[in-house]
Amino acid sequence: MTERRERTDVAIVGAGPVGLFAVFECGMLGMRSTVLDVLDRLGGQCAALYPEKPIYDIPGHPEIAAADLIDRLADQAAPFKPVFRLGAAVERLEEIPGGFLLATRDIEVEAGAVIIAAGVGAFGPNRPPLDNIEAYEGRSVFYLVTRREELRDRRVVIAGGGDSAVDWALALAGVAARVMVVHRRAKFRAAPESARRLEALAAEGRIELVVPYQLHALEGAGGTLSAIVVADLDGKTQRLDADVLLPFFGLSQNLGPIAQWGLALERNHIAVEPSTSMTSTRGIFAIGDIATYPGKLKLILSGFAEAALAAHAIHPLLHPGEALHFEYSTTKGVPGRG
């Protein structure tokens, strides 16, 4: 049962990087934001799944850790005094006179417009089908890495062939005592440069490529691993002495309650008008990975641009008839700065 009701100009569902930048863009146009997120921290996937992972395609930052990016975006949004409601899943969204009502378990938020920046929606790891794996989860089996130092001098097996598996193999090569990458094919699906670096480290003996193999069984007791058994395509097994297993087989995702909000969907994504980021419902916008349109690129920088488009499309909805005199930030400045 909700305890209270609040009012804001724009309700932003999702506190990941794109949602945080939407706070800034709305603030620059004089609109207040309330941000709601099911997670108990800012950052979305960046904070929950790979806070120490370097990101290379943020303009002006040749390399920046995901957690540092979130910190910078939060600092950028701070002058506009957003209200953050974290650990608050939006269970219901409905139209009301003058806007929308978003309801969580504890609070209701009235907003003139809504921006959905919920990433991939509700997400969780795809677990490998290994007997008794639950007994090791959180102690020896991890689906995300928050701090590399926690794996220093450990024998680590990484399973998977995509970007997450390869990136963490590269990141742990100089930290873990031993890094073994198990993949069912010799070819990896990661970015070509990352795959080349992986092969180079393997040639130097700093990473072991266990291919073509797949996970077969876990050995250990009391939640502590001692070894991982892998099998090739013919069923021949090999035992790898290991302390930690990192299975990176992607995320299972679903839209959760968002699927019931009456928005036009395409393949588990929200369809939007690319020039405004507006959904099929006037006043509701979607940006970032959850949004789709022809030619969509799933990049953080694309989400940043979509946040700006959404903010500029929202302003005339909240202030009809009011002329918006657009100014560059270098001219207008930011409250409390410059």
Which CATH number does the domain 4-123+252-332 belong to among 3.50.50.60, 3.40.50.11540, 3.40.720.10, 3.40.1360.10? Answer: 3.50.50.60
DSSP alpha helix (H) spans, 13-150 = 17-28, 45-48, 66-77
**Residue indicated by tokens 């939060």:** 74
Of residues 72 and 87, the one with the higher pLDDT is: 72
Q: What is the pTM of this model?
A: 0.71
Average the pLDDT over each of 9-23, 83-97, 113-127, 188-202 and give the range with the smallest value.
Answer: 113-127
DSSP letter string, 254-283:
E-GGGGGS---EETTEEE-BTTTTB-SSTT
Domain boundaries, the chain: 4-123+252-332, 127-249
On whether the CB atoms of residues 84 and 56 are closer than 8 A, the answer is no
Coil, strand or helix at 303: helix
Average pLDDT over residues 245-253: 82
What integer pLDDT is reported at residue 254 of this predicted model?
65
As a 3-state breakdown, the chain gives helix, strand, coil percent values, each rounded to 5, of 25, 30, 40
Quickly state the pLDDT bin for 48 (edges 50, 70, 90). Answer: low
Confirm whether 4-123+252-332 and 127-249 share one CATH topology. yes
Residue 32 has pLDDT above 70, yes or no: yes
Return phi, psi of residue 196, to 5°. -65, -40
Q: Which pLDDT score is estimated for 148? A: 86
Please tell me what DSSP assigns to residue 27.
Answer: H
**Model confidence pLDDT, tens digit, residues 301-331:** 999 999 999 999 999 999 998 887 776 776 6
- The pLDDT value recorded for residue 206 is 96
pLDDT of 1 reads 43
Measured CA angle at 282 (ends 260, 261), to 5 deg: 5
Q: Looking at residues 28-45, what average pLDDT do you find? A: 90
* Averaged confidence pLDDT in the chain: 91
d(CA 230, CA 4) in angstroms, rounded, equals: 54
Regarding the domain delimited by 127-249, which CATH topology (the fold level of the hierarchy) does it fall under? FAD/NAD(P)-binding domain (3.50.50)
What tens digit of pLDDT does each residue of 135-159 get? 999 899 998 787 889 999 999 999 9
Average pLDDT over residues 170-196: 94
